[in-house]
Amino acid sequence: MDPSSPVQGEMYLFHDHGLVLLLGISTFVGFVGVKLIMNTMTSRTVVEAQTLETLWTILPAFLLIWLALPSLRLLYLLDEQTGEGLILKATGHQWYWSYEIGDQVSFDSYMVPTADLEVGESRLLEVDNRATVPYLMETTVIATSADVIHAFALPSMGVKMDAVPGRLNSFSMFVEKPGVYYGQCSEICGANHSFMPIVVEAVKLGD
C-alpha cells in the first residue's frame, strides 16, 4: 500500500533502514557459520580470538545506535501535534463507528452488507457514511470508545490509535493526496470485530 501521508512515508524509510541492517547481520553470521561448517575456520580461531571478541562487542553497540536514532526521530514525528486544522472525533461502538466534525456534524458509519455492495466496492470495507477530511491540511483525530477498547487504524496514513472508554486519544493526520482510504478496527473488540471498517475520504477543503 502506497503511503499517503508524510509519517507513513517515514515509516517505510525506517523499514528499509532496518532491513539493510538485518541483511548485513544475517550475511555476516551466515558467512561465519558456513566457514565453521566447512572447517576453514577452527573453533579456536573463533572462540579464543581477542580481536574478533572485541569486534563483536563494539560493532553491535554501533549497530544499535544506527537503528535507535531514526527510530527515536520517527517516534517524535508520530507524537507531534499542531492542534490546527479540522478536528474529527471518532467513537467506537460494538460494532460501528460514529463521527463528529466540529460541533455541527455527527453521524454513524455502518458496514455495507455484502448483498448491498455495488460493482467495484470492497467486501467488509465499505460503509454507508464516510468520514470526510481535507487533503493538504492538518486533521486532528480524537479517538474514544463508548463500550469496549477499539482501535482506529488507517494503514496508508500510518495511523493506529486505541479508542479507550472514558479517555480521549488524539493524533495528527496529514493527507497528501485526494482519495478514499480504508482501515479497520485493530483491537479484538467482540464477536463482530471484523465488521466495523473505517473509510476516510480526502477531498478539497472547499468541498
pLDDT (tens digit per residue) in 23-71: 988 998 888 788 777 776 665 666 666 777 788 788 888 888 988 998 9
Query: For the chain, first and last CA: distance in Å?
Result: 26
pLDDT of 47: 63
Over the stretch 146-188, which tens digit does the pLDDT of each residue have? 999 999 999 888 888 999 999 999 888 889 889 999 999 999 9
Strands across the sheet containing 179-184: 131-134, 197-203, 179-184
Measure the CA–CA gap between 101 and 198, rounded to whole angstroms: 15
Amino acid found at 156: S
**What is the C-alpha to C-alpha distance for residues 122 and 193, in angstroms, rounded to an integer?**
17
Q: What is the pTM of this model?
A: 0.77
At a CB cut-off of 8 Å and minimum separation 6, what does 117 contact? 123, 126
